[in-house]
Amino acid sequence: MAEQNDSGVRGGGSAPRPRSAREQFESILGSTLQEQFDEMQQQVREHTEKLASVQRELAARTSTVRSKDRALSVTVGAQGDVREIRFHNEDYRRMDPARLGKVLVELIGRAQTESAEAAREAFEPLRGRGAEMRRSMLAGSPVEELLAPIREMTKNLGGAPAPRGGGNDG
């Protein structure tokens, strides 16, 4: 009965076929790596879905602020774009143009600040999640332990082969 050598080929006197990098990779990692990658992909999909949901909510959100005298209000979108300037009574007609402009600029700024704060609050639960996923996918995880032998193998492979033809042979 022929014995199986290290490369997985049953020998009958012929030289064993060297295993490809893929075969070596699969023999070291097996299905565990695929399971890890599947889990990582699921985490990325879930995170992407949460981000998209927050973005949709913010796109529909507006912020409205009103002047102290209740005569004017300004509404801005999630990106701070002015959506509406409303005059609630005739008091604005008695304002000189410089004062009216100053009030409008102040209201727009307040509405934009409010909108930006709402966006920060909406994204806060997701902050750092990408970096956290990256760390969990690599450092100190089973994946890192699985990749260590591959890194060691590739480090020991040496430099790239010399180019064929076209070179100076001296």
Interatomic CA distance for residues 75 and 64, integer angstroms: 4
Lowest mean pLDDT among 1-5, 15-19, 80-84, 140-144: 1-5
- Is pLDDT above 90 for 163? no
Output the pLDDT for position 170: 43
Domain spans of the chain, in order of start: 57-125
State the pTM of this model.
0.54
* pLDDT tens per residue across span 16-74: 777 777 776 666 666 666 677 778 888 888 888 988 998 899 889 999 999 999 999 99
Output the pLDDT for position 76: 96
- Is pLDDT above 50 for 162? no
What number is the average pLDDT over the span 71-79? 94
Output the pLDDT for position 66: 96
What number is the average pLDDT over the span 152-169? 56
* pLDDT tens per residue across span 100-151: 999 999 999 999 999 999 988 888 887 777 666 666 666 555 666 667 777 7
Closest CA to 114 of 88, 83, 75: 75
Sheet holding 82-87, edge to edge: 62-66, 72-77, 82-87
Over the Cα atoms of the chain, what is R_g? 32
- Is pLDDT above 60 for 85? yes
Give CATH superfamily name and number for 57-125.
Nucleoid-associated protein YbaB-like domain (3.30.1310.10)
